[in-house]
Amino acid sequence: MTTTTLSFKKRFFRLYVSTLKQNLGLIFLLTAVTFFFFPIANGIEMLHVMTSYRDDMFQIVLEDSSFYHMCGAADIYGEASIWFFPVYVLAAPILTVCSLCRPLHNRRAADLYNSLPLSRKGMLGVWLAAGMTITAIPLFVGLVCTPFAALLLHYPHFHPLLMLWDFFLLLLALFSVMSIVMLCAVCTGTTFDCVVFSGLLFVLPISLWGILKTMCQGFANGWQISDGAVDTTLGLLFPVAGLVKHFKWSEFDLGGGAWIGVPYILFWAAAACVLYGVSFCYIHRRKSEMSGSLNRNSVLEAIICVVSSMVGGLAIGALFTTLLFLDIEKYTWLSTVVFSAIGGGLIFAIAEAVLSRGFHRLKKQLAHAGAAMLAMAAVSGGVVFYCEVIVEDYMPNFSQIESISVEDDPGLYKMVSGVLIATENARGVTYLENIPLVLHSEDAIKQVYDLQKHIIEEGNLESRYGIDWDKRYSSVSGFQFTYHLKNGKEITRHYYLSSFTLTEEAVQLYGHEEYIRQAISLFNPEYEPYIQELSILDGLQLREETFPNQQQDSQKFQRLLNTLSREFIDMDPNVYYKETETPVAWLKYNYPNTKKRDEYIKGEIISFHGMIPIYTSFTETMNLLIEYGYGNLLELDVSPVKKAVITNSNRYLDSEDILGRTFIAAHYSFAEVRTWIDTLLLEKSQQKDSEENNNDKEEKLYIEEITNQEFLEIIPKMRISTNNTEEWRKETSTKKVIICTNDDYIGRYIEE
């Protein structure tokens, strides 16, 4: 009989088809799960979106895509889908590869497959092709069904081409994840090892990075990784991070686009090609006797054991150090090193026991465990040394700094409700986003530079740990800035500034013109046309008059703002940061928020609300206000005050809402509050005797009604506390006054 030898292509294709047939059950299972989380979940969400609007809104809904809240570049995925995709992309390849690569993990199957007239490389190629097909079919079914669901539900907005693009990205992600699982399958002898190694390879890099980051933040005071660097690191260390970013952050509201997360997906696809290369090279000479045995690639095993020990050791070190509440730096250091070493040895022993399915090899590996402990001591000690000695004190060369962006909370933001910028996304939709202040002038940069230098030199604990409860430091604010260097690098630092350690450098920074003009956008000339009106309030903020920005008053309006900004910039910043003076009046502005987001102009900077204090030193501003007919508001008038009480307690009053900077709490019922205060007064009188007998000063409630004369006397001491950091200052000794009018109430601190 004459036979024609089958070609490699024919054998490859036939084995591929045969493999798919054998795995029809798996395809069906994955499709069923995907169908539930993809078209069905999306359909439910579409239905929800479509029924969320009233009938009269429906036309607007159809015309304005900003009403939709579906996710992804294609505008068609629900929340369930976008969380399902990464899970699927991680789990499906593990399941599929374990099913396909049975000959690598089963001795008998190895006999069958390795005796076939197809090379090992060819077989791996078949498994790769079959694996991709098996995992892609369910997604493809979902991709095809979703538009049908959209048509059925009359959901009008989705982008078929972007759906195809998303599908392609999903395939790339599957390809990447499968490369890791397949490498593990080739390098191990059992399915258990393959799953464990794959899982660890997914988790370990990101865990190690997370622990090192936490350690750096703990030991290097001020060290901060920027959000961009976090994104990049996650994207490069975790194969589905790019996918999560693509689907989650290309939500319509956040203005993403088709390219979000794509660089990471492409990076991983490229890395996958390398991993496949390694797998194909390795399988060519892979020993068949590995199948079904505990033999595995020694390099991969060593990497897994070492990294596991590092992650576990450092995590245990950090955990025990935290549990011990060690405040003294040298003990923290010692504790971290000792517990990391113990943890490293322990995790190494556990890893060894798991991989060898018992403790029989442990005795042989004791030397390795000891080496792991020593290595961990060296690694943790090295990390601590690097953080404390090198990173913590590092400052860039001043001449290399191009600009500094500052994210200061509260800083001058205390006066405004956030500075936002209108940004246009890839699809031409404008949205608002928080922006940091960017300082370019040399002297402003010098202020920040000197501030960091001061903090490094001081090395104060409250800056590092934020709060020293023994000293009752509860007023701490974060101060984060990023040096943008001329060579393109960025260095970010984050410090805590407490009210008692607010340095002269920090205060001077807050008084710098460049800082003020960005933080209070009212003082930015470009902003002026957008303001429709201002409000002028008296010092107690009981009376209020509006100052419209009308055509005929435009010059007056601009003059007032120019004068106020000049005087504000020229004043000593300590006046408002340390609240050494009570304002005589206030200027309030509200940006009209009737404007739809799409109507904002790209690059438009917005601060929606703000309160600017006017001090006695602002003579020109006050003269202008008198000239414009608002002079009455500069005079003290206590006639609206119906009742005033003084208290020292935060336990009975919600200081944040009543005594804080919220001066008009319109959402509270005045009658309710007044009754509440009366009740408190009554309780106070009833408890008087017992309170007096209580020696614990902090426990004593102090609340009493004051006369008009007493009220007038304390007015100069009253502070609105625009500064968050001062809000709770000297909590136990600061008195507060609550002022009740006929229809409102306000809270003020009294400076003692």
Partner 1 sequence: MIQAKDLVKRFGDKTALQAMNVTIQPGSIYGLVGTNGSGKSTFLRLVAGVYYPDGGSIQIEGKDVFEQESLKDKVFFVPDELYFLPQSTVEDMARFYADQYSGWDWEYYRKLSKIFPISTKGRLNTFSKGMQRQAAILLALSARCSYLLLDEAFDGIDPVIRGAVRRMIADEAAQRDITVIISSHNLRELEDLCDYIGLVHNGSVLFSQELDELKLGFCKVQAAFRPERDIKEFSGLSIMQYEKRGSLFSMVVKGNSSQVLEYLEQFQPVFTEALPLTLEEVFIHEMEEVGYDYNNIVF
Minimal distance, residue 98 CB to partner 1, in Å: 13
The residue among 743, 750, 705 whose CA lies nearest residue 726 is 750
Residue 640 has what DSSP assignment? T
How large is the angle between the packed helices 227-237 and 241-248, nearest 10 degrees? 130
Determine how many CB atoms are found less than 10 A away from the CB of residue 325.
Answer: 7
Q: Give the number of other CB atoms < 10 A from CB of residue 599.
A: 10
Q: Specify the residue, 101 or 634, whose C-beta has the smaller distance to partner 1.
A: 101
Q: Residue 90: CB partners within 8 Å, gap ≥ 6?
A: 177, 202, 240
Is the peptide bond preceding residue 205 cis, with omega within 30 degrees of 0?
Answer: no
Contact with partner 1 (CB under 8 A) among 1, 328, 367, 601: 1
The answer to whether 118 contacts partner 1 (rule: CB under 8 A) is yes
Pairs from 662-667 (Cβ < 8 Å, separation ≥ 24): 663/541, 663/720, 663/746, 663/747, 664/541, 664/744, 664/746, 665/745, 666/744
Between 292 and 610, CB nearer to partner 1:
292
361 near partner 1, judged by CB under 8 A = no
Beta carbon of residue 283, minimum distance to partner 1 (angstroms, whole number): 10
For residues 13 and 259, which CB has a smaller minimum distance to partner 1 in the complex? 13
Q: Is 399 in the site for partner 1 (CB under 8 A)?
A: no
Give the binding range for partner 1 (CB under 8 A) out of 5-13, 40-48, 49-57, 163-171.
5-13
> Is residue 350 a contact point for partner 1 (CB under 8 A)?
no
Handedness of CA 107, 113, 115, 118 (dihedral sign): negative
Write the DSSP symbol of residue 75.
T
For residues 264 and 222, what is the distance between their CA atoms, to the nearest angstrom? 29
Sheet containing 585-590, strands listed edge to edge, beginning at the edge strand earlier in sequence? 544-548, 533-538, 585-590, 609-614
DSSP, residue by residue, 288-307 = GGGTTSS---HHHHHHHHHH
- Interacting stretch for partner 1, rule CB under 8 A, among 102-110, 140-148, 626-634, 711-719? 102-110
Among 27, 49, 110, 439, binds partner 1 (CB under 8 A): 110
- The answer to the question of residue 693 lying near partner 1 (CB under 8 A) is no
Q: Is 105 in the site for partner 1 (CB under 8 A)?
A: no
Query: Please, which residue, 2 or 397, has the CB nearer to partner 1?
Result: 2
Contact 419, 413 (CB under 8 A): yes
357 binds partner 1 (CB under 8 A): no
From 105-113, 241-249, 318-326, 729-737, give the range in contact with partner 1 by CB under 8 A. Answer: 105-113
Asked if residues 667 and 716 have their Cβ atoms less than 8 Å apart, the reply is no
Q: Which of 105, 120, 246, 414 binds partner 1 (CB under 8 A)?
A: 120
Asked whether position 9 contacts partner 1 by CB under 8 A, the answer is no
Classify residue 47 as exposed, middle or buried by CB count within 10 Å of its CB (0-12, 13-18, 19+).
Answer: middle
Size of the site for partner 1 (CB under 8 A): 33
Residue 707 as a binder of partner 1 (CB under 8 A): the answer is no
Angle between helices 262-284 and 160-187 (to 10 degrees): 30
When binding is defined by CB under 8 A, the residue of 20, 80, 95, 109 that contacts partner 1 is 109
CB of 431: closest distance to partner 1 in angstroms?
53
Dihedral (Cα; 707, 709, 715, 716), 10-degree rounding: -150
Cβ 31 to partner 1 shortest distance, Å? 19
Helix 298-323 / helix 191-219 crossing angle, nearest 10 deg: 40
**In 10 A of CB 293, how many CB atoms?**
14
364 touches partner 1 by CB under 8 A: no
Q: According to the binding rule CB under 8 A, does residue 112 interact with partner 1?
A: yes
Binding of residue 186 to partner 1 (CB under 8 A): no
H/E stretch holding 349 reads helix 329-355
The whole-angstrom separation of Cα 527 and Cα 465 is: 39
We find the least distance from the C-beta atom of residue 319 to partner 1, in angstroms, to be: 39
**Contact track, partner 1, 60-99, x by CB under 8 A:** ----------------------------------------
Among 65, 66, 119, 232, binds partner 1 (CB under 8 A): 119
Our CB check for partner 1 shows the closer of 25 and 488 to be: 25
> Among residues 541, 520, 518, 498, which one has the least CA distance to residue 661?
541
Residue placing its CB nearer to partner 1 in the complex, 122 or 418? 122
Applying CB under 8 A, does 116 fall inside the site for partner 1? yes
Contacts (CB under 8 A) with partner 1, residues 277-316: 284-285, 287-289, 295
| Residue 594 in contact with partner 1, rule: CB under 8 A | no
Site string for partner 1, 18-57 (x = CB under 8 A): x---x-----------------------------------
Task: By CB under 8 A, tell whether 117 contacts partner 1.
Answer: yes
Distance in Å, CB of 12 to partner 1, minimum: 10
Interface contacts to partner 1, rule CB under 8 A: 1, 3-6, 8, 11, 14-15, 17-18, 22, 106-112, 114-120, 122, 284-285, 287-289, 295
